[in-house]
Amino acid sequence: MPAIGVFALQGDVREHLHTLEALGVEAFAVRRPAELARCDGLVLPGGESTTMVKLARAFELLDPLRERVRGGMPTFGTCAGMILLADRIEGGTADQETIGGLDVTVRRNAFGRQVDSFEAHLDFVGLDEPVHAVFIRAPWVEETGPEVEVLAAAEGHPVAVRQGHLLATSFHPEVDGDGRVHRIFLDLVGH
């Protein structure tokens, strides 16, 4: 049974743990390097990307995270987690660092203040039925590198992408118990 960690220094951890457990994998919170070392795959949840990256540095997780992601560990970022995986950010704070690995530019809080949060039904590559997507102060993908596959779009911008072992969504597939996007991630883990 693969061991799937959920980055848990800040953010929307519990819903991911529940969704993963319902799919029959061992899911656990990651707050320390030793926990990261056990992971066959990792979820970076939604939350506040600036805080998450600062805490990751303070807890000596940022460099180990970069090494594991660069080394091929399947990783799934949702919302702030997508920002953490992005190589480039628009609308970040001046010194905002990321883990990186995904050859995209993401725009933070891209959908604007009036529509801070919204829901949509989106076609998703590889899924027969649309996904109910919940967006909360979400980023979108502004630019994609040549190896990035777009899996879903909203308002003309990619909101779900894959590049090799990395998967990222602007929205929160963990909130309504629909495990299909997590299932796609577990396929990358090889489960």
Active site residues: 79, 172, 174
Q: Considering the complex, what minimum distance in angstroms separates the CB of residue 134 from ligand GLN?
A: 9
CA dist., res. 21 & res. 85, Å (int)? 23
Local structure of 35: helix, strand or coil: helix
- The alpha carbon of 153 is separated from its chain's Cα centroid by a whole number of angstroms, namely 15
Opening angle at CA 61, ends 73 and 141, nearest 5: 60
Position 142 contacts ligand GLN (CB under 6 A):
no
Please report how close the Cβ of residue 30 comes to ligand GLN at its closest, in angstroms. Answer: 17
Q: Does residue 104 belong to the site contacting ligand GLN (CB under 6 A)?
A: no
CB distance 171 to 157 below 8 Å: no
Can you tell me the distance from the alpha carbon of 55 to that of 91, in angstroms, rounded to the nearest whole number? 20
Residue found under tokens 């970069």: 66
Please report whether residue 49 would count as binding ligand GLN according to CB under 6 A. yes
Each residue 55-84 as x (binds ligand GLN by CB under 6 A) or -, in order, gives: ------------------------xx--x-
Q: How far is the CB of 190 from ligand GLN (least distance, A)?
A: 27
Contacts with ligand GLN by CB under 6 A lie at 46-49, 79-80, 83, 108-109, 136-137
